[in-house]
Amino acid sequence: MELAEFVDRLDEELRTDAYADLDASANGLQVGPDSAEVEHVAVAVDGVQETFERAADAGADALLTHHGISWGGFDRVTGRTYDQVETLLENDLALYVSHLPLDGHQELGNAAGVADVLDLEDRAPFGELGPEYIGQRGVAPESYTTAQVRERLETSLEGRETPVQVLEGGPDELEEIAIITGSGTDWLAEAEAAGADALVTGEGKQKAYHEARERGLTVFLAGHYATETFGVRAIQERLEEWDLETTYIDIPTGL
């Protein structure tokens, strides 16, 4: 497949343009030539030196990551940025990035993957960011206890190295659950307004402890990395449907 076709198909699938003015990440092709062939694609959560090297060692032509190397552009290509770009160029490795588009995609996204783990029904977009959404919410098939939600997350999320931390502020029975992967505690007010009993996210902030209790919400902090493997995994399956060879690179951070 031509690199240009590869990029166009991903941009269309992930609605990359819709997030252009909302995301600090430069989504889409961040590093790549005008023309190249793509037969083997590596996927990973983080676009960092180790994933670049492992993708090159696997013989990949392109690497798709959730977190890239351009956040608002480069002032200078020096130091760490130079080393990363040099590795990509020396190995003819194109870098495609999908940050918020891959969080909010209602079928392939990270939040959708967490919703699958919890078997949520009656799903709807959640986590407003301008005219778009970066998460998902739904209803449990039957009410969960806090312990049941924590167990599902701990046993099903990849890259978990520590127990899921819980801020207990919600009811004993959890039915309406909102999800924003990564860092999502800024959406506690929206979760309350939507009638949620709980919010599942990756990591928290100090202020979230009291805010969750005051808003009557239970918050599950399941790990930034662990909540964001779903999107690249789902894209990997889609790439294989396009007859591309794939490699998944797993480098858990424990965070």
d(CA 241, CA 238): 5
Query: Residue 140 to residues 167, 192, 233, 240: CA-CA distances in angstroms?
Result: 19, 17, 24, 31
List residues forming the annotated binding site: 66-67, 103, 224, 228
Burial class (CB in 10 A: 0-12, 13-18, 19+), 79: exposed
List residues forming the annotated binding site for a divalent metal cation: 66-67, 103, 224, 228
Q: Is the dihedral of CA 12, 70, 57, 32 positive or negative?
A: positive
d(CA 6, CA 14): 12
d(CA 78, CA 25): 19
